[in-house]
Amino acid sequence: MDTETALAALAALAHPTRLEAFRELVRHEPAGLSTGALVAASGLSQSTFSTHLAVLARAGLVTAEKRGRQQIQRASIDTLGRLMTFLARDCCQGRAELCGPLVADLAACC
Amino acid sequence: MDTETALAALAALAHPTRLEAFRELVRHEPAGLSTGALVAASGLSQSTFSTHLAVLARAGLVTAEKRGRQQIQRASIDTLGRLMTFLARDCCQGRAELCGPLVADLAACC
DNA sequence: CTGACTCATCGATATTTTCCGATGAATGGA
DNA sequence: TCCATTCATCGGAAAATATCGATGAGTCAG
């Protein structure tokens, strides 16, 4: 992942509504959720939430699939992983002593 | 890490200048860099960069230590780790099949 | 003490983001 | 066909963020 893509992903997640929606989608992997269901959970207007979803999609964090009139949204765990690797990369390059605790902490959560 | 703290960290990193500064600081762990050195590298005015640094500090991603007239800035790998764990937590809870590849990818970078 | 240096904060302006209602396209049921 | 449903996009208003120069506080060297 390059810097520009990472910035887009970070900016996409740096908003309460979008972060919550993304986490909700992660919890619903791999089934996904319809846009309407997410809108209802957000409490915002449909148009506003649609804009938020577009931001997440543009960042590659969410993908959509048409099913009838609905749009089924799914979180991209792959993009999330690439973002995390991007954030950790700098301390990893020949700096295992820094990255070690970081990975250990993460592994412990699983 | 709670949602509010995670949002602050994500917003802090979601800006080209701040992301670059943070990564530069990670590369200089554990020695750190003076504010002046970071300002010079950023190409922005001193006051503007100072504001950016304050955002990173408020998010707990950077800590400062006074040394003479200089302010030595250091990246908080700990906060970075907590942010990453926060992002991965949702797919980890009883969903090791999702989190596995994510952690493996990260471990491979070290 | 004086002057130079390092950095944070203030006030103002410009840009970006967020939010909404209205509109329109696409789909499916009656 | 006709209408309801689902969702994206447009236009505009409000809020937040980014940027700068100027100013001030603290520190050190002469």
- Burial of residue B63 (CB within 10 Å: 0-12, 13-18, 19+) is middle
Within 13 Å and on the Cβ side, how many CA atoms surround A11?
17
Domain count, chain B: 1
Query: How sure is the predictor about B51, in pLDDT bands with cuts at 50, 70 and 90?
Result: very high
Cα pseudo-dihedral B52, A10, B8, B100, rounded to 10: -140
- The Cα B107–Cα A23 span in angstroms is 23
Question: Per-residue pLDDT for A89 more than 80?
Answer: yes
Average pLDDT of the segment spanning A70-77: 96
B-chain CB neighbours of A90 within 8 Å are: 23, 26-27
Confidence of residue B99 (pLDDT cuts 50, 70, 90): confident
Q: Does A101 sit within 8 Å of B103, measured CB to CB?
A: no
Task: Please write the tens of the pLDDT for every residue from A34-57.
Answer: 999 999 999 999 999 999 999 999
Answer yes or no: is A73 CB < 7 A from strand C: no
The pLDDT score that the predictor gives to residue B80 is: 94
Residues B61-78 pLDDT 10s: 999 999 999 999 999 999
Instruction: Tell me the residue range of the domain where A24 lies.
Output: 3-108
- Provide the pLDDT confidence category of residue B95 given band limits of 50, 70 and 90: confident
For position B94, what pLDDT does the model report? 62
**B3-41, pLDDT tens digit by residue?**
999 999 999 999 999 999 999 999 999 999 999 999 999
Sequence-distant (6+) residues with CB within 8 A of A39 are: A46, A49, A50
Q: How far apart are CA A38 and CA A17, in angstroms?
A: 10
The sheet that has B70-75: what strands, in order across it?
B33-34, B70-75, B62-67
- More confidently predicted of B87 and A106: B87
What confidence tier does B84 reach under pLDDT thresholds 50, 70, 90?
very high
Round to a whole number and report the distance in Å from the CA of A67 to the C1' of D21. 56
**Has residue B110 got a pLDDT over 80?**
no
**What mean pLDDT is predicted for residues B86-95?**
78
pLDDT value, residue B26: 94
Q: Are B21 and B53 in contact (CB under 8 A)?
A: yes
CB-CB under 8 Å, B10 with A14: yes
Q: What is the CATH number of the domain that holds B23?
A: 1.10.10.10
Q: Measure the CA–CA gap between A17 and A37, rounded to whole angstroms.
A: 14
Rounded distance in angstroms from the CA atom of residue A47 to the C1' atom of nucleotide D5: 15
Q: How far is CA A49 from CA A60, A83, A107, B44, in A?
A: 17, 23, 33, 35
Helix, coil or strand: residue A4: helix
Closest alpha carbon to B79 in B16, B20, B25: B25
